[in-house]
Structures are given as C-alpha cells and as structure tokens.
Chains A and B, each alone.
Chain A
C-alpha cells in the first residue's frame, strides 16, 4: 500500500527539530558555523514544502461511524498561515546569518533557535489545541534558554523569573484545555467550534476561556505579564531579542486566532472582546509610557515591543474581518521592522554601550546603517510609504468601522508617543555631538557584514510592504473572512 508522498507539511516542523538535535550534539565542532549558514538558507524555502489544506498526522482523519470528529492531530495550512510561517522563517534565517558573524557562535544557540522556529510554526499551523499547548511549552523554554545564552547575571535572573511565571501560566493554560476537552469531548479546534456553536455554555467552558486568555497574555506579552517579557528582551543580546519578539508576536496572533475561532460569534464573546481590548490598550499605553522613561536603548526597544504587541492584539480583538487582517498584517510588519531595530541596536552596541547618554555622533561612522535604522523607526511610527503606515491605517480603519473610535484615538496618541521616543533615541545615538575620545573609540568599531546584510534585507521588506501591502493583505483576507464576526450597531 505504498502511497505517493505529496504533502511535505510536517517537514516544516520536523526538519528544524532533526537539525536541532544534530546541532546540540556537535555543538563544539568547527563546522557549526558553516552548517548554521546552510541551515539559514534552507529555512527560507522550508515554508513552501506544504500544500494548502488539512493534514492529518498518522492518517487519523475524520472518524467514520457514529461520531464525525477528527480522531488524530490535524494541521491546517492556508495562504494566511503560509505568509506567517514564511515571515517567521525568513527572520529566523536572517538572525542565524547575522549570528554567523558572532565570535562565540556555538551549536547550542543554533539548536535552540531552530527549536523555537519549529515550535512557533507548529503553533501557527496547529488545528489541535493540545498540540498547540505542547509546542507553546517548547517555545517558552526555548526563549528562556536564548536569554540565558547571553550569560550575564541579569539575563539569568530574567530567564528564571520568566520560567517561574511560565510554570504557572503554562499549567493554567493546560487546565483550560483540559476543561474545554471535558466540556466538548474533542481537542480539534474545528470540531470544538462546531460543538460550542450548537450547545449552551457551561461554567467549564467559561473557565477554559479564562485560562486561554491567561495563556495568551503570557505567550504574547500582554498585561499583566508585560514586565517580565520586557525584562527578557532587554537582557538578551539584541539580535537574540529580535528573535524572541518575533516568537511572541506569532504566538500572540496564533492564540488570538484560536480564541476567535472557538468563541467568536457566540453571545458571551462580547464580554471577552471587551476584556481583550482592555488588555491590549493596557499593553499599548504601559509600553509607551515606560519606553518614554528609558535611558537605555535596549530597554526602550523592549517596552516599544510591548506597546506594539498591544496594537496587534487590539486589531485581532476587534474581531471583524478587517480587524483581523489589520492585526495579522501589523504583527507581520512589526516582526520585520522590530527585528531590524534590534539588529540595529546590535550593531550600535559594538560601540561598547547601550546607554544613550554615553553614545552620540555615530552617524559619520555608519551612515548606511543609520539610514536603515531610520527607515525602521519611521515604519514603527507609521509614516508612509513604509509598512507600519499601511497596517496602522488598516487598524484605525477597523476600529472606526467597528464603531470604537476611542480605540482609534488611543492608537494615534500612542503613535505620537512612539514618534517622540524613537526620534529621541535616534538623535541621542547618531546626531548628538560627541567628544574627541569617543571619536577615537568609534574608529575601532568593526561592523559585522552579516548583520548589515540582514538589516538591509529587512529594510527592503519594510519599503516593499509599504508600497505593495496587497502581497500580504490579499492572502490574509479570505482567512479573516472565514473566522471574523460582523458586528452591527443595533446588536
């Protein structure tokens, strides 16, 4: 019964896992650097291995007989998910390329990166809520490991705190999944959605929803978990932080999609939606206020990540098709320009300090890098023709059309705050006059070509998506229409 292999979707998850085992085994070897580079190239083509549709692991498809439920684990790949997985893998690949320029690159780091990429792409594609939980845990531990890799005392502390809270949040998420399983009798998201739509809600379902939201807050860095996330980003190496924030952005999107898919359109979703919007506004405002107070560039970027996570969550929480498109598109854009900013911080940190008061006058020494960082900054603020503008426009449009103008106003205000601190940081690092000694010091800076290459690709993507947003939006729209809810005023 040999059947032709036609769908290589599992390889998107399994191939990085196999390589991660190999990398962790040969971690001291000299070929790690070359293999890492090769792996970075393979990662870019990996998302195209899967064909669109549902994939059933172990051939356990929809069971025949009395029940018409899916019996095994299902993964779904559609154009929207494919774009997300591709963005994730592309950023992972660029970070690996810039890591090859590091002096102390080792197999353990590459191995953890690959495990994180595999698990987050599994979280995006999983149509099975328990499988999602398993990979969520892997992603959590991976992120802690990547922070520890920088080896400073503060990194140890941040990672330990993250894992400590993670034990609680992870267990609560598992409990929520158990409650949902007991109440609906299935783990498959599509089946669960059908069950919830056709049966009245029980307290167990409410409990499950609450735990899912806690898991979402922890995985995506929404309040009240935002401080530990910000701590993680600022303590990790900047180029590692760019990967960490990409992971949590996509975990946030994936879990929001799960919540929308399961509960969107149900009568009690109204309150949930309010809670989610409140959480995301909290993230936006806290992030911006904290970022305005920072003197350290890395910390500023860390809090900025939290505030942008709030935007993504707000877009998805609105729940209309337009809101979902805006949320996912902003998530993708954010992953791109924020990675560029962190990579820029990585290059700047070669000047021995990330304290902005001690920097200044770097512009003549790295004009090209400064230009690219400026592009990324303008993108985060939302200035045309860069990608941040397109997605923020969509977000505000979605908020207005869902009749929540307050949200749109807060988004614009937060954008102004972002403008203030981003330009402040740019001035302090690149334009501020500096002393003669500093200029002497700057002359010794060696900029890694690999990092500049990665930064350049990300900047090109920022401009490209700013001019042609349809490349992404058109792919997300059918998916968003499928899971979105149409709110009417008189409802």
Chain B
C-alpha cells in the first residue's frame, strides 16, 4: 500500500509539474493581439466601457453568466432536498435529529452593534453601485454581491432567527425569478423593435428609455439605452441568488421543511 501511494504521489507531482510548466510557458509567451478590442475601446456607448462590453457588445454572454448563477442556486436547493424524486437519503441522515440547529456563532455585543449599521451602509452602497453601473465603475454583479455580503454579515453576527434584516426564502426566490425574467424580456423587447435579441434600444416611440441629467453627458451623448435596466435586473438576481445560498448553508430548517412534505 505504501509503495502504491508513493508511486501515485510521484506520478501526480510529475504530471503537475509538466502541466504547470506548459501553462506557465504559454502564459509567459503571450503576445497580445489587439484585434476587436480596438473597436471596444474606441467606440463610445456609455461612460463605463466595461459595462458597455458586458451589456451592449456581449449582452448575451452576461445573460448566460446570470443563468450559471441561477442554475447553481437551483442545484444548491436540490442538494438541500428541494424537488428531489426520492428523499430517502436525506431522511436517513436526519432521522435522529429532533430539532433543527441554526448556526449562532455567539458574537459579542460589540460586533452585533456594529454589524447592522455597517450592513445598512453596505446595502446602500450596493444600490448606488447598481444604479450607477453605466457611468461609474460597478454594475449589477458588483452591486448585487455587495448587498448579499451585507446580508451575510448581518446573518453571521446575529444568527438567522434573531437577525433584524430578514428576507424570507419565498421573497428571495421571487426576487431572483423577477430579475432573470426582466433580463430575458428586455432582450425580447430589443428583438421586437430591431429584430435582434438584446439590442440596446435607444428610443421607444421617440422616448428615451432611461433619461439622465445633462450634467453627466459625455461626447454630447446622453442615450444609455436599456443598460441601466439590465444592470438592475442582474443586481436583483445576484443579490437574491447569493442570499439564497447563504440561507441554505446557514440553516437546517430548509431540509426539515423539505423532508416533511
């Protein structure tokens, strides 16, 4: 056994070194070709060029990335017993447990007092980051993660039952579905108007879809199209998705509820 495992370790380390050196060699000798990026960096759509790439040039990729998150949340829910064909395994695991245990790490009052103002500030910052995603650094993903982080902070310091900021599971699910559907339907709107999915609609019957104040105009262009709405949709979805995963991981209540029905 000892010989076998040491042989195995040698094989693993050899292949690791070989493969690692291949990766490093190819990364080391990168000679970057500008290609299409020349167009991305020279065409003005909105002040935040990163958001322009994410939501205008390559909007469909962002839709797919959202769905990776939605899908992970769905599968994480399944691991905790939601929508299984057979719950025998989970029932077996939780047969002896009478009550569900919620995590309470027993933090001191100092942390508890500081956590709530901090998480409120973080949530507000998250909202600002989402709403200003098209003009300042940030966007839906970043803002949504900030809000979810604030929620996680509150839950960790108080425990899920006593937490003053409490989103119900159903509410989070609704929020996530709403965000995702908004993104998909805004794409369809572009299709109805121009014939192309996720077309950045500049005007709907002569109206600017997202009127902005004149003072932030750059290059004389004010029209940001539907990008802020897409940002909001992604923000809602990300904050709901990450919060759902947190509530799943921190409490056994979900499993108990799922086993019962």
For the complex, what is the distance from the CA of A51 to the CA of B129, rounded to whole Å?
40
| Smallest beta-carbon distance A17→chain B, Å | 6
Chain A residues whose C-beta falls within 8 Å of the C-beta of B30 in the assembled complex: 179, 182-183, 202, 204
Q: Is the CB of A69 within 8 A of B197?
A: no
| Smallest beta-carbon distance A204→chain B, Å | 5
For the complex, what is the distance from the CA of A152 to the CA of B39, rounded to whole Å?
52
Q: Is the CB of A134 within 8 A of B194?
A: no
Indicate whether A21 sits within 8 Å of B70 (C-beta atoms), given known contacts A71-B57, A73-B61.
yes
For the complex, what is the distance from the CA of A18 to the CA of B74, rounded to whole Å?
15
Indicate whether A131 sits within 8 Å of B64 (C-beta atoms), given known contacts A71-B36, A183-B30, A207-B25.
yes
| Smallest beta-carbon distance B155→chain A, Å | 23
| Smallest beta-carbon distance B176→chain A, Å | 9
Task: Choose one: A1, A66, A185; the contact of B194 (CB below 8 Å).
Answer: A1
For the complex, what is the distance from the CA of A1 to the CA of B74, rounded to whole Å?
40
Which residue of A is nearest B261, CB measured? A28
Indicate whether A135 sits within 8 Å of B36 (C-beta atoms), given known contacts A25-B177, A104-B85.
no
14 pairs across A/B with beta carbons < 8 Å? A1-B193, A5-B192, A10-B197, A14-B187, A58-B190, A58-B197, A67-B38, A119-B67, A131-B61, A138-B71, A148-B84, A150-B85, A179-B27, A207-B23
Chain A residues whose C-beta falls within 8 Å of the C-beta of B86 in the assembled complex: 104, 150-152
Chain B residues whose C-beta falls within 8 Å of the C-beta of A137 in the assembled complex: 68
Chain A residues whose C-beta falls within 8 Å of the C-beta of B79 in the assembled complex: 148, 156
For the complex, what is the distance from the CA of A191 to the CA of B87, rounded to whole Å?
50
Q: Is the CB of B61 within 8 A of A134?
A: yes
Q: Is the CB of A7 within 8 A of B22?
A: no
Q: Is the CB of A207 within 8 A of B26?
A: yes
Q: Is the CB of B78 within 8 A of A148?
A: yes
Chain B residues whose C-beta falls within 8 Å of the C-beta of A55 in the assembled complex: 196
Q: Is the CB of B85 within 8 A of A5?
A: no
For the complex, what is the distance from the CA of A2 to the CA of B192, rounded to whole Å?
8
Which residue of A is nearest B75, CB measured? A145
Say yes or no for B195: interface residue by CB 8 A criterion.
yes
| Smallest beta-carbon distance B87→chain A, Å | 6
Q: Is the CB of B22 within 8 A of A134?
A: no
Which residue of A is nearest B78, CB measured? A148
For chain B residues 50-67, which have a beta carbon within 8 Å of chain A?
Answer: 56-61, 64-65, 67
Chain B, residues 9-33, CB within 8 Å of chain A (1/0): the string is 0000000000000110111111111
Say yes or no for A184: interface residue by CB 8 A criterion.
yes
Q: Is the CB of B72 within 8 A of A18?
A: no
Interface stretch among A105-113, A304-312, A315-323, A404-412? A105-113
| Smallest beta-carbon distance B114→chain A, Å | 35
A134-B64, A183-B32 given; 14 more Cβ-contact pairs under 8 Å: A5-B191, A24-B70, A25-B174, A60-B57, A69-B35, A69-B36, A108-B83, A112-B75, A130-B61, A131-B58, A138-B64, A141-B71, A141-B75, A150-B84
For the complex, what is the distance from the CA of A126 to the CA of B36, rounded to whole Å?
18
Say yes or no for A149: interface residue by CB 8 A criterion.
yes
Say yes or no for B109: interface residue by CB 8 A criterion.
no
Report the 3 A-B pairs with minimum CB-CB distance, sorted nearest first. Answer: A185-B35, A207-B26, A108-B83
Chain A residues whose C-beta falls within 8 Å of the C-beta of B75 in the assembled complex: 112, 141-142, 144-145, 148
Say yes or no for B101: interface residue by CB 8 A criterion.
no
Say yes or no for B199: interface residue by CB 8 A criterion.
yes
Task: Choose one: A25, A57, A148; the contact of B59 (CB below 8 Å).
Answer: A57
For the complex, what is the distance from the CA of A14 to the CA of B32, rounded to whole Å?
34
Indicate whether A151 sits within 8 Å of B90 (C-beta atoms), given known contacts A14-B197, A134-B64.
yes
Interface of B is mostly: helix
Say yes or no for B198: interface residue by CB 8 A criterion.
yes
Indicate whether A141 sits within 8 Å of B82 (C-beta atoms), given known contacts A57-B59, A184-B35, A185-B37.
no
Q: Is the CB of B88 within 8 A of A145?
A: no
Say yes or no for B173: interface residue by CB 8 A criterion.
yes
**A contact residues, range:** 35 or more
Say yes or no for A334: interface residue by CB 8 A criterion.
no
Say yes or no for B89: interface residue by CB 8 A criterion.
yes
Say yes or no for A203: interface residue by CB 8 A criterion.
yes
**B contact residues, range:** 35 or more
Q: Is the CB of B57 within 8 A of A58?
A: yes
Indicate whether A108 sits within 8 Å of B36 (C-beta atoms), given known contacts A10-B187, A204-B30.
no
Residue of A27, A56, A66, A72 with most partner-chain B CB within 10 A = A72
Chain A, residues 143-185, CB within 8 Å of chain B (1/0): the string is 0110011111100100000000000000000010001001111
Chain A, residues 102-135, CB within 8 Å of chain B (1/0): the string is 1010111101100100010010000000110011
Task: Choose one: B23, B58, B174, B194; the contact of A175 (CB below 8 Å).
Answer: B23
| Smallest beta-carbon distance A14→chain B, Å | 6
Q: Is the CB of B180 within 8 A of A21?
A: yes
| Smallest beta-carbon distance A71→chain B, Å | 6
| Smallest beta-carbon distance A190→chain B, Å | 13
Say yes or no for B200: interface residue by CB 8 A criterion.
yes
Chain A residues whose C-beta falls within 8 Å of the C-beta of B180 in the assembled complex: 21
Which residue of B is nearest A24, CB measured? B74
Chain B residues whose C-beta falls within 8 Å of the C-beta of A145 in the assembled complex: 71, 74-75, 78
Say yes or no for A237: interface residue by CB 8 A criterion.
yes
For the complex, what is the distance from the CA of A150 to the CA of B35, rounded to whole Å?
47
For the complex, what is the distance from the CA of A179 to the CA of B22, rounded to whole Å?
12
Chain A, residues 71-82, CB within 8 Å of chain B (1/0): the string is 111000000000
Chain B residues whose C-beta falls within 8 Å of the C-beta of A191 in the assembled complex: 35-36
Say yes or no for B209: interface residue by CB 8 A criterion.
no
Say yes or no for A440: interface residue by CB 8 A criterion.
no
Chain A residues whose C-beta falls within 8 Å of the C-beta of B57 in the assembled complex: 58, 60, 71-72
Say yes or no for A443: interface residue by CB 8 A criterion.
no
Say yes or no for A466: interface residue by CB 8 A criterion.
no
Chain A residues whose C-beta falls within 8 Å of the C-beta of B34 in the assembled complex: 185
Chain B residues whose C-beta falls within 8 Å of the C-beta of A67 in the assembled complex: 35-36, 38-39
Chain A residues whose C-beta falls within 8 Å of the C-beta of B61 in the assembled complex: 73, 130-131, 134
For the complex, what is the distance from the CA of A151 to the CA of B84, rounded to whole Å?
6
Q: Is the CB of B87 within 8 A of A185?
A: no
Say yes or no for B216: interface residue by CB 8 A criterion.
no
For chain A residues 1-58, which have a beta carbon within 8 Å of chain B?
Answer: 1-7, 10, 14, 17-18, 21-22, 24-25, 27, 55-58
Which residue of A is nearest B65, CB measured? A134
Q: Is the CB of B89 within 8 A of A153?
A: yes
Indicate whether A27 sits within 8 Å of B197 (C-beta atoms), given known contacts A57-B60, A65-B39.
no
For the complex, what is the distance from the CA of A203 to the CA of B24, rounded to whole Å?
10
Chain A residues whose C-beta falls within 8 Å of the C-beta of B195 in the assembled complex: 3-7, 59
Say yes or no for B250: interface residue by CB 8 A criterion.
no
